[in-house]
Structure 1
Amino acid sequence: MDSLITAAARALAAGDPLGALKRVALRDDPPALALRGTAMAQLGDFARAKELLRKAARAFGPKEAVSRARCIVAEAEIALASRDLTWPAKLLDSARSTLEAHGDRLNAGFARYLEVRRLLLVGRLDEAERRLADLDPKLFPPASRTFHELVVAGIAMRRVRTQPAREALGRAQQAAHQARIPALMAEVENASRILDTPAARLIARGGERLLLLEEVEALFASRAIVVDAFRNVVRHGNTTVSLATRPVLFALARALAEAWPGDVARDMLVARAFESKFVDESHRARLRVEIGRIRRLLRNFAEIRATKQGFALVPQRGREIVVLARPVEEQHADVLAFLTDGESWSSSALALALRTSQRSVQRALDSLASEGKVQSFGRARSRRWITPPVPGFTTILLLPAPLPLD
């Protein structure tokens, strides 16, 4: 490899894409094309970067399987950064196998990190942890160790485990400073802010206040009965009653919990549960049926008693009842949660991450766009959606993840 290629590669490794381009911008040989593609990716021009990397992969000869595999890994990283979650994961797995077979441990390990980061992004935490366990960060340079610790912290935050998250972020900060890459340092700093930003709103005894993620963790560990509006579940200790597929029952549980220790009038419960402005005898009959269902589901730690006005939720053994709600409640908050990561998303990638239909996501995006909360650029399959972060709040609890008790 000639001196210019070596110098360009070192510039990229140090996070200096412009320095790399100065050395190879006018060259069209395969190594230069690959380096130019990587540099364009670091500068944010993902479309041009993919074009250059694919051209480089085609230009490498049949005896240069390792170089082609490296191009595929680089393209996979671009797909992840541009939130192209439909990019074929099998290609990355094949490239990783090629690199491992040829002894390129560093790039093979980086390919594994890309796989794990994609799993984290779509909420498959158990599988991400299993794959992460196969990697020893001590064997990799500081930049890769930073990626490792960021993934560890991301999994911990999704599981609402703040102490392991802080420890991982501390290690990530040390590794990022050793790597001396400003973009990497900024990424660690942004991740660290999540732990010091309000993540939820606590509603209890007629009042409410904002909670940090650490306080949410303490709430889950307490003896309180928590009506969780993030996952639509009612939890107490190690017991969780999921109402995610039963919105009427969850609306009743939340209305009763917000009024605790008082009661809720029947007409108000009908309006909350059935979203009806007019109440007749059929609504009251249906309310009695739904109250019977929620009473059976919560019987292990609370009971629902009839009062003169309506119904009241009464916890067993004098426990507290609280509601854990989003800091700012609005329609399509789950879609906004992904968009506030600062990256551009396609509707297909959002549908994959949210595990819903693309048409549902498109309707949500159109609604948010009409309210000026999101913006799009591009057309057809190249259309991407972005939004600035919601100031003062973190959306970590809105992202898909197993329940903290799992």
Structure 2
Amino acid sequence: MDSLITAAGQALARGDPLGALKRVALRDDAAALALRGIAMAQLGDLVRAKALLKSAARAFGPKEAVARARCIVAEAEIALVSRDLTWPVKALDSARVTLEAHGDHANAAHARTLQIRRLLLIGRLDEAESFIADLAPTLLPPPLRSTLQLAVAGIAIRRLHIKEARRALMRAWQAAQQAGIPALGTEVESAALVIDTPAARLIMKGKARPLLLEEVEELFTTGTFVVDACRNVVRGGNTVVSLATRPVLLALARTLAEAWPGDVSREKLLSRAFGAKHADESHRARLRVEIGRLRAELRGLADISATSGGFKLEPRRRSDAVVLAPLVEEEHAAVLAFLADGEAWSSSALAIALDASPRTVQRALEQLSAAGKVQSFGRGRALRWVTPSVPGFPTTLLLPGPLPSG
């Protein structure tokens, strides 16, 4: 490899894309195209970067498998940043195997970190953790070590292990300082802000107040009866009952918990759970059925007793009953939560991340667009959706459950 290519590669490793371009901007050989593509990606021109990397991959000869694999890894990173979750993951894994077979362990580890970041983005935490176990952080170069620790912190935050997340963020910061890449340090600082930003609201006895992540974690260890409207579950000690696919039961549980220790009228329950403005006997019969189903779901956690005025929640462990709610509640909140990361998303990527049908997501985006809450640009497969940062969505940590199918 000639001196200009070597110097450009070193500039990119330092996070200096302009320095790299000064050395290879006028060259069209395969190596120069690849370096130009990576430089353009660092500068934010992802469309041009993708085109240059594809050209580089084609320009490398059949005996240059490692170089082509490196281009594929770079393409995968661009796809991840641009939220193209339909990009072929098998191609990345194949490139990683090729790099490992040829002794390029640093780029193979980079490919693995991209897989981890993608799994974290779509909420597949167990798979992400299994991939992390395959890597030895002490053997990674500082930039990769920082990225890996950011992923570890992200998983810990999603699992509400905040002390573990702080330790991982500290390791990420130290590695970023060793790398000497300002953008990486900024990314770690932004991630650290999440822990000290209110993430949810606690509603108890008719009053609401914001909670930090550490307070949410502590709440779950107290044995308090919690209707978790962020993740659509009911918690009590180590028992967790999912109501993610039972929106009526979740609405009933939340209404009863918000009114605790008092009772809730049948009319209010009908309005909150069914949207019934004028209840008739059929609505009352349905309410009795759904209350019976909720009793069965919460068996062991709480009783629901009938009162002269309606129904009352009675936690079994003589604990308080509270509701954990998102800071911002509105229709299609899950879509807004993902768009609030500042990146441009395709509807297909949102469908993958939300585990919802593409048509359901598309309808949500159309309604949000009509309300002026999101904007689109591009056409066809290049169509992307963005929104200004939405207050109340500091992370994807407490995302609402999947969108209702329809």
Q: TM-score range by the shorter chain?
A: over 0.9
Alignment check: 8 A CA contact 1:138 1:145 kept: yes
**C-alpha distance in structure 1 between counterparts of 2:102 and 2:263, whole Å:** 69
**C-alpha distance in structure 2 between counterparts of 1:385 and 1:65, whole Å:** 36
Query: Could you say which residue in structure 2 is the equivalent of 1:280?
Result: 280
Query: Could you say which residue in structure 2 is the equivalent of 1:18?
Result: 18
Secondary structure, in 3 states, of the residue corresponding to 1:396?
coil
Unaligned runs of 5+ in 2: none
Query: Could you say which residue in structure 1 is the equivalent of 2:104?
Result: 104
Query: Could you say which residue in structure 1 is the equivalent of 2:361?
Result: 361
Alignment check: 8 A CA contact 2:158 2:398 kept: no
Amino acid at match of 1:353: A
Alignment check: 8 A CA contact 1:149 1:172 kept: yes
Aligned-residue CA RMSD (Å): 1.4
Amino acid at match of 1:275: G
Taking only the aligned residue pairs, the percentage that are identical comes to 70
Query: Could you say which residue in structure 1 is the equivalent of 2:245?
Result: 245
Q: Count the aligned residue pairs.
A: 402
Alignment check: 8 A CA contact 1:159 1:401 kept: no
Secondary structure, in 3 states, of the residue corresponding to 2:227?
strand
How big is the shift at 1:392? 5.6
Amino acid at match of 2:390: V
Amino acid at match of 1:299: R
The TM-score normalised by the length of structure 2 is 0.97
**Deviations 1:262-281, CA, capped at 9 Å, x for gaps:** 11111111111111111111
1:109-128 residue pairs with structure 2 within 5 A? 109-128=109-128
Secondary structure, in 3 states, of the residue corresponding to 1:5?
helix
**C-alpha distance in structure 2 between counterparts of 1:215 and 1:367, whole Å:** 34
1:217-228 residue pairs with structure 2 within 5 A? 217-228=217-228
Q: 1:295 to 1:188 in 2, by over 3 A?
A: same
The 10-residue stretch of structure 1 (162-171 or 384-393) with the greater mean CA deviation from structure 2 = 384-393
Query: Could you say which residue in structure 2 is the equivalent of 1:49?
Result: 49
**C-alpha distance in structure 1 between counterparts of 2:22 and 2:324, whole Å:** 53
**C-alpha distance in structure 2 between counterparts of 1:20 and 1:139, whole Å:** 26
Query: Could you say which residue in structure 2 is the equivalent of 1:76?
Result: 76
**C-alpha distance in structure 2 between counterparts of 1:396 and 1:353, whole Å:** 11
Q: 1:234 to 1:22 in 2, by over 3 A?
A: same
Q: 1:66 to 1:45 in 2, by over 3 A?
A: same
Amino acid at match of 1:174: Q
Secondary structure, in 3 states, of the residue corresponding to 1:318?
coil
Alignment check: 8 A CA contact 2:106 2:140 kept: yes
The 10-residue stretch of structure 1 (189-198 or 290-299) with the greater mean CA deviation from structure 2 = 290-299
Query: Could you say which residue in structure 1 is the equivalent of 2:94?
Result: 94
Query: Could you say which residue in structure 1 is the equivalent of 2:160?
Result: 160
**C-alpha distance in structure 1 between counterparts of 2:347 and 2:396, whole Å:** 20
How big is the shift at 1:393? 4.4
1:315-326 residue pairs with structure 2 within 5 A? 315-326=315-326
**C-alpha distance in structure 2 between counterparts of 1:136 and 1:144, whole Å:** 11
The TM-score normalised by the length of structure 1 is 0.97
How big is the shift at 1:317? 3.8
How big is the shift at 1:51? 0.7
The 10-residue stretch of structure 1 (123-132 or 289-298) with the greater mean CA deviation from structure 2 = 289-298
Query: Could you say which residue in structure 1 is the equivalent of 2:330?
Result: 330
Query: Could you say which residue in structure 2 is the equivalent of 1:374?
Result: 374
**Deviations 1:57-76, CA, capped at 9 Å, x for gaps:** 11111111111111111111
Secondary structure, in 3 states, of the residue corresponding to 1:324?
strand
How big is the shift at 1:397? 3.1
How big is the shift at 1:318? 2.0
Is the aligned partner of 1:267 residue 2:288?
A: no
Amino acid at match of 1:266: R
Query: Could you say which residue in structure 2 is the equivalent of 1:232?
Result: 232
Secondary structure, in 3 states, of the residue corresponding to 2:328?
coil
**Deviations 1:19-76, CA, capped at 9 Å, x for gaps:** 1111111100111000000001111111111111111111111111111111111111
**C-alpha distance in structure 2 between counterparts of 1:75 and 1:396, whole Å:** 25
Query: Could you say which residue in structure 2 is the equivalent of 1:299?
Result: 299
**C-alpha distance in structure 2 between counterparts of 1:317 and 1:341, whole Å:** 39
How big is the shift at 1:401? 9.3
**C-alpha distance in structure 2 between counterparts of 1:393 and 1:124, whole Å:** 20
**C-alpha distance in structure 1 between counterparts of 2:356 and 2:160, whole Å:** 24
Unaligned runs of 5+ in 1: none
**C-alpha distance in structure 1 between counterparts of 2:65 and 2:153, whole Å:** 34
**C-alpha distance in structure 1 between counterparts of 2:398 and 2:225, whole Å:** 20
How big is the shift at 1:235? 0.9
**C-alpha distance in structure 1 between counterparts of 2:234 and 2:292, whole Å:** 16
Amino acid at match of 2:54: R
**C-alpha distance in structure 1 between counterparts of 2:399 and 2:130, whole Å:** 20
**C-alpha distance in structure 1 between counterparts of 2:35 and 2:393, whole Å:** 38
How big is the shift at 1:220? 0.8
**C-alpha distance in structure 2 between counterparts of 1:401 and 1:176, whole Å:** 34
Query: Could you say which residue in structure 2 is the equivalent of 1:397?
Result: 397
Q: 1:400 to 1:35 in 2, by over 3 A?
A: farther
Query: Could you say which residue in structure 2 is the equivalent of 1:196?
Result: 196
